Chains A and B, each alone.
Chain A
Amino acid sequence: MKNTWLILFSLGLFGWASCSRSTDVPTPEPQPEQLEMPIPTYFPKMVYNLSSNPITYDGFQLGRSLFYDGILSRNGTIACGTCHQQAVAFTHHGHDLSHGIDDKIGMRNAPPIQNMAWEKTFFWDGGVHDLDLFPIAPIENPVEMDEKLPNVLQKLRDSKNPDYPQLFKKAFGTTEITTERFTKALSQFMVFLVSNNSRYDLYLRGTTNALTATEKEGLAIFRQKCGTCHEGELFTDQSFRNNGLSIARSTDEGRFRITQNPEDRYKFKVPSLRNVGYTSPYMHDGRFATLEQVLDHYAQNVKQTPNLDPLLQQNNQLGISLTSEEKQKIIAFLRTLSDEQFVKDYRFADPGFGKAF
């Protein structure tokens, strides 16, 4: 009976609304509050299909809770936020290789989580092609969270603090917890992590004095000498390349692991350089601690290994010719990609109840 009245009441409102000329009529059914994610005009075309997963305030908050909750791991100690820390652009500060559950060491360096909506593939080897499918990998990896997805979903259904069934209801309408809702909530949080407020962005948006003369020179040298691979305003062409790192003691064959194509051996994804000032150490195995070491590698230490990128062996010379002055200018420029607002944005921070490290 109560429902009948509700229907009649809503119909009444509707009738009243359709007769009224007012434009700000209260809607009878409150719609979930949509969050407008920043879409910089100078970024390339977005890859993530937002229409299949519109970001709402409650969906984002649920994703944020999940991101920082160790409940995703076998013993409650490891959250996404363990290896992806906001203060360092969601990387694992001070770790060349990430360490996960029971102090097990992972095989690669944790990349930043930023501008995910523009990523065509995930992981250094591009093994995952859809952000919504991504979280299953760290959850089920024995050296990361070592848990099974069905088990995670069950723990969430049983969770009282926080009351996940209620959080799912707020985000998706009912208390049902499914794989789709779980991964899409995490995607809502991750997709919303847009970094576009570095000094370089201010410069792009017209504040010409946001960069110093040296930084502008660095930008010009960078575009000329590094800009083919680290192209565009995300500073990556998202291709897979062998950048000539020594493979002496490494067993990691990169993209080959996914495609089994011998031509992909030792190729890794060209990373975005946004926030690169925060994301040390560098390379897929975190072998370089500083940007100076990275540029020294390209200038002097490129090794002739199988599938070495043609761009790094032009005119019978390995690497990229760079003077020490040029290197310093490039580094000065790269530091302008640090987005302080992004790493301090309280909306992206641990909500505080997480049990993980």
Chain B
Amino acid sequence: MKNKILWAGVVALLAGLLSQSCKTTPDPTEQSTLTLSFVPRVGSQTLEVGTGKYKNAVGEEFTVTSFNYFVSNISLKKADGTTFTIPQDSSYFLIKATNLASQKVTLRGIPTGDYTELRFVIGVDSLRSTMDISRRKGVLDPGDATHDGDGMYWSWNSGYIFMKLEGTSPSVAPDAAGNQKFRYHIGGFGGYNAKTFNNIRPVVLSLGSTAAKVGPTQQPTIEIEADIAKVFEGKEKISLAQYPTIMVSDYSTTVANNYASMFRVLNVKD
């Protein structure tokens, strides 16, 4: 028994030493959390999955049954110009319109400061897209149970789907099953051993004059609109009748160029 206590002591001492030596930030009390809240919308309307009817820029009516996208590689810039980058291994998030919890991204360990700019990537960077399977955890794990039936991974052309938008439209010709569906699955990290299209898009959002003030007692939330209407008109107008299915094709970059501008800061809540 005595030995056991001794052992516990040694372990505790070692653990203590380790935690000291691994510490990278000066004081844990000076860290806090910042939340990103993604609000799916279509133009000025709130998105109602499955039921809401909307019109795109060319006047075609549509509903949305699925709207998912990856947000990754998040960094925050302070007013003084310094940047805090979220550790890469914990910087991958999958936002789904059908899953409210997924729309709130809580970033922990944020140093105290006034943040005036938010940067992230829509999609999964090429480095992670080619990493060993052991480095693909959580939302990046193709076998994760939450993906069942709504996968964001191309198994036959190794890579993640960065943005998936599916729905119905009376403008779309019926498919083999008689359904008038549109399906946009946009991915492509640039290719592993041959150059292919690259649909990774960086996003820079300025918080304007209202900085997100992070501190021991300040845990702000940045509300960000994700506007589906922009997928059809951000840079170039896309017709559902003409393009009911966009997946692995050069035209997918048109969609990516559009969704690159779908985000907008709504407000910063203290």
Task: Return the chain A residue nearest B145 by Cβ.
Answer: A150
Are B130's CB and A136's CB within 8 A?
A: no
Any A CB within 8 A of the CB of B7: yes
Are B193's CB and A126's CB within 8 A?
A: yes
Q: What is the CB-to-nearest-CB distance from A349 to chain B, in angstroms, rounded to a whole number?
A: 27
**Which residues between 179 and 197 of chain A lie within 8 Å of chain B, taking CB atoms?**
179-180, 182-184
Q: What is the CB-to-nearest-CB distance from B261 to chain A, in angstroms, rounded to a whole number?
A: 24
* Residue interface bits A257-286, CB-to-B below 8 A is 1, else 0: 111110010000000000000000000000
Are B156's CB and A137's CB within 8 A?
A: yes
Counting residue pairs across A and B whose Cβ atoms lie within 8 Å, the total is 99
CB contact under 8 A between A179 and B158, given known A4-B7, A140-B151, A259-B196:
no
* Chain A residues positioned under 8 Å from B3 (CB to CB): 4, 8
Any B CB within 8 A of the CB of A210: no
Determine the distance from Cα of A178 to Cα of B156 in the docked complex, in whole angstroms.
20
Of B7, B133, B155, B193, the residue contacting A129 (CB under 8 A) is B193
Are B155's CB and A136's CB within 8 A?
A: yes
CB contact under 8 A between A260 and B248, given known A179-B133, A180-B134:
yes
* Chain B residues positioned under 8 Å from A154 (CB to CB): 145
Determine the distance from Cα of A132 to Cα of B155 in the docked complex, in whole angstroms.
11
Of B143, B144, B149, B249, the residue contacting A260 (CB under 8 A) is B249
Task: Return the chain B residue nearest A138 by Cβ.
Answer: B155
Are A133's CB and B157's CB within 8 A?
A: no
Determine the distance from Cα of A151 to Cα of B143 in the docked complex, in whole angstroms.
8
CB contact under 8 A between A121 and B145, given known A257-B248, A260-B250:
no
Q: Does more than half of chain A's interface fall in helix, strand or loop, or is it mixed?
A: helix
Are B134's CB and A259's CB within 8 A?
A: no
Are A49's CB and B149's CB within 8 A?
A: no
Are B7's CB and A7's CB within 8 A?
A: yes
Any B CB within 8 A of the CB of A153: yes
Are A52's CB and B132's CB within 8 A?
A: yes
Q: What is the CB-to-nearest-CB distance from B247 to chain A, in angstroms, rounded to a whole number?
A: 11
Task: Return the chain A residue nearest B2 by Cβ.
Answer: A4
Are B143's CB and A4's CB within 8 A?
A: no
**Which residues between 155 and 210 of chain B lie within 8 Å of chain A, taking CB atoms?**
155-158, 191-197
Q: What is the CB-to-nearest-CB distance from A8 to chain B, in angstroms, rounded to a whole number?
A: 7
The residue among B144, B155, B195 with the most chain A CB atoms within 10 A of its own CB is: B155
Of A141, A150, A152, A184, the residue contacting B147 (CB under 8 A) is A150
Any A CB within 8 A of the CB of B153: yes
Any B CB within 8 A of the CB of A128: yes
Are B143's CB and A178's CB within 8 A?
A: yes
Size band of the interface chain A makes with B:
35 or more
Are A150's CB and B130's CB within 8 A?
A: no
Are B151's CB and A148's CB within 8 A?
A: yes
Are A129's CB and B132's CB within 8 A?
A: no
Any B CB within 8 A of the CB of A165: no
* Residue interface bits A137-158, CB-to-B below 8 A is 1, else 0: 1011100000011111110000
Q: What is the CB-to-nearest-CB distance from A159 to chain B, in angstroms, rounded to a whole number?
A: 15
Are A129's CB and B192's CB within 8 A?
A: yes
Q: What is the CB-to-nearest-CB distance from B199 to chain A, in angstroms, rounded to a whole number?
A: 11
Are B158's CB and A127's CB within 8 A?
A: yes
Q: What is the CB-to-nearest-CB distance from B83 to chain A, in angstroms, rounded to a whole number?
A: 32
Of A52, A182, A255, the residue contacting B134 (CB under 8 A) is A52
Are A258's CB and B157's CB within 8 A?
A: yes
Are A260's CB and B155's CB within 8 A?
A: no
* Chain A residues positioned under 8 Å from B133 (CB to CB): 130, 132-133, 179-180, 183-184
Any B CB within 8 A of the CB of A123: yes
Q: What is the CB-to-nearest-CB distance from B159 to chain A, in angstroms, rounded to a whole number?
A: 9
CB contact under 8 A between A150 and B148, given known A129-B158, A136-B153, A179-B143:
yes
Any A CB within 8 A of the CB of B4: yes
* Residue interface bits B237-268, CB-to-A below 8 A is 1, else 0: 00000000000111000000000000000000
| Interfacial residues, chain B to chain A (CB-CB below 8 A) | 1, 3-4, 7, 130, 132-134, 136, 141-149, 151, 153, 155-158, 191-197, 248-250
Please list the 10 inter-chain residue pairs (A to B) with the smallest Cβ-Cβ separation, ordered nearest first. A179-B143, A136-B155, A137-B155, A129-B192, A149-B143, A127-B157, A132-B133, A150-B145, A150-B148, A259-B196
Can you identify 13 A-B contacts, CB atoms within 8 angstroms? A121-B193, A129-B158, A132-B133, A150-B147, A151-B148, A153-B143, A179-B142, A180-B133, A180-B134, A184-B133, A258-B194, A260-B197, A261-B194
Additional A-B contact list (10), CB under 8 Å, known A179-B136, A257-B157: A129-B193, A132-B133, A136-B153, A141-B155, A148-B149, A153-B145, A180-B134, A258-B157, A259-B196, A261-B194
| Interfacial residues, chain A to chain B (CB-CB below 8 A) | 1, 4, 7-8, 49, 52, 120-121, 123, 126-130, 132-133, 136-137, 139-141, 148-154, 178-180, 182-184, 255, 257-261, 264
